[in-house]
């Protein structure tokens, strides 16, 4: 999930992701000093359908005045030592659209 507004909490992002499918891991990137979300994070879905749903539903969704960005990681879970059938999205503001 990328291009997350600074007013949005990590727990809310996780709820959005879980609405798309079972999430095995949500790793928000945070500021070390404050713990605030930097505006992006990485998620691993249990099933590929979760990734597809996130791409269709969450990409360009406007939350607190910013359009979210969702992109799929090109590296397969099996190549990273993950379980077969796992799908990963890795998104960040560098992949987002300009507001």
Assess if residue 78 is contained within a domain.
yes
pLDDT of residue 11: 95
- Name the residue range of residue 56's domain: 10-95
pLDDT of residue 74: 59
Q: Considering its fold, how many domains does the chain have in total?
A: 1
pLDDT of residue 3: 96
pLDDT in tens, the chain (99 residues): 999 999 999 999 999 999 999 999 999 999 999 988 999 999 999 988 999 999 999 999 999 999 999 998 754 543 344 444 444 444 332 233 333
pLDDT of residue 35: 87
Q: What is the value of pTM for the model shown?
A: 0.74
Q: What CATH number should be reported for the domain holding residue 90?
A: 3.30.70.330
SS3 for 8-55 is CCHHHHHHHHHHHCCEEEEEEEECCCCCCEEEEEEEEECCHHHHHHHH
Residues 6+ apart with CB under 8 A from 66: 3, 4, 5, 99
């Amino acid at each position: 999930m990328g291009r997350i507004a600074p007013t949005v909490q990590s727990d809310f992002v996780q709820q959005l992701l879980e609405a798309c499918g079972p999430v095995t891991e949500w790793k928000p990137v945070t500021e070390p000093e404050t713990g605030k979300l930097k505006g992006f994070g990485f998620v691993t879905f249990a099933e590929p359908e979760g990734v597809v749903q996130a791409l269709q539903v969450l990409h360009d969704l406007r939350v607190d005045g910013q359009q979210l960005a969702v992109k799929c990681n090109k590296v397969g879970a099996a190549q990273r030592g993950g379980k077969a059938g796992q799908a990963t999205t890795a998104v960040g503001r560098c992949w987002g659209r300009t507001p």
